[in-house]
Structure 1
Amino acid sequence: MSDTTNKPPIWYWIITVILLLWGLMGIWIFYDFIASTPETMAKYVADGAFSQAYADHLMTTPAWATAIFGLAVFTGALGALCLVMRRPWSVPLYMLSLLFIVISHINTFAMAKAHKIMAGGQIGMEMVVLALGLFALWFALTAKRKNWLS
């Protein structure tokens, strides 16, 4: 590791801002999830956003799975903030976020088998979350390797 820091290119900032916005959106979705009531879930079902089975699944999510979801979201958002501030802490934060994403996916797909009641778009979004988690870690590692982080 070098003691000098290189100036990152403009695309670094574009990607970093996109990752930060993604992280903030994740926080908003997590808040919406933990603040959900049976009434809000009924509205999602009535609007056609969720099936009744999926809404029931969400309302009975174990506390540990909700905690893992929150940890994935907040470590990812903090990783993005570290990229904005050009700090190397983005790498371990994104590693943790990816670990929590994988644990969450193991619960969703292997343990709870929620994919059987999820719509195609919901499954697709889960794959986007995993792909962006992988990309964010790769990007942070690349930024560190290129000495864009100090």
Structure 2
Amino acid sequence: MTNSMNKPPIWFWILSVLALIWNALGVQKYLQQAYNTEGFRASYTTEQLALMDSTPAWATAAFAVAVFGSVLACILLLLRKKLAKTVFLIALIAIIVQMGYGLLIAKNYEVLSSFEVTMSIFVPIIGLLLYLFAKRSAEKGWIN
């Protein structure tokens, strides 16, 4: 590991911006669900809405930590702050808690579409990759 700041390659910036956009979409989904918008309710079946309405507060809190934490981590990454790595880790833990609840406890795969179930598996993978990206960026001295 190096103490000096190294100039990151162009793909660092591209990936960081794409990660910010991806996670901003997560914030949008959270806000739609939290505010229970008409557009949100119109895109789900009665069974799916009942499942979401029965989600405990701790799982909803994990959702909030996951999406807002991920956006914050992306901003820190763009500012080249090493704290991004820690924030990505916290967000990843929240993602695992949220998705673990949905898949293992609520068994949401019984009522969600195959796309939504796939996203429930894909999102933690993206969260892990972003954490590893931040970790590698710190090791390379791109963030400090």
Same fold, judged at TM 0.5 (above): yes
- In the alignment, the residues of structure 2 paired with residue 40 and residue 64 of structure 1 have an alpha-carbon distance, to the nearest angstrom, of 24
- In the alignment, the residues of structure 1 paired with residue 35 and residue 75 of structure 2 have an alpha-carbon distance, to the nearest angstrom, of 25
Consecutive unaligned residues of structure 2, counting only runs of 5 or more, are none
SS at match of 2:3: coil
**Partner residue of 2:16?**
16
- In the alignment, the residues of structure 2 paired with residue 139 and residue 10 of structure 1 have an alpha-carbon distance, to the nearest angstrom, of 14
- In the alignment, the residues of structure 1 paired with residue 15 and residue 62 of structure 2 have an alpha-carbon distance, to the nearest angstrom, of 25
**Partner residue of 1:30?**
30
- In the alignment, the residues of structure 2 paired with residue 87 and residue 42 of structure 1 have an alpha-carbon distance, to the nearest angstrom, of 38
Q: CA deviation at 1:42?
A: 4.8
Q: Is contact 2:33-2:40 (8 Å) kept?
A: no
Consecutive unaligned residues of structure 1, counting only runs of 5 or more, are 45-49
RMSD: 1.4
Alignment of 1:60-79 (within 5 A): 60-79=54-73
Q: 1:42 to 1:26 in 2, by over 3 A?
A: closer
- In the alignment, the residues of structure 1 paired with residue 40 and residue 16 of structure 2 have an alpha-carbon distance, to the nearest angstrom, of 33
- In the alignment, the residues of structure 2 paired with residue 21 and residue 42 of structure 1 have an alpha-carbon distance, to the nearest angstrom, of 23
Q: CA deviation at 1:41?
A: 5.5
SS at match of 2:82: coil
Q: 1:40 to 1:62 in 2, by over 3 A?
A: farther
Q: CA deviation at 1:117?
A: 1.0
SS at match of 2:26: helix
Letter in 2 for 1:124: T
Letter in 1 for 2:63: F
Q: Is contact 1:83-1:90 (8 Å) kept?
A: yes
After TM superposition, the runs of 4+ consecutive aligned structure 1 residues lying more than 4 A away are 39-42
Q: Is contact 2:2-2:140 (8 Å) kept?
A: no
Q: Which stretch of structure 1 is more off in the superposition, 54-63 or 92-101?
A: 54-63
Choose which of 104, 125, 134 in structure 2 pairs with 1:140. 134
**Partner residue of 1:122?**
116
State TM-score, norm by structure 2: 0.94
Equivalences, count: 144
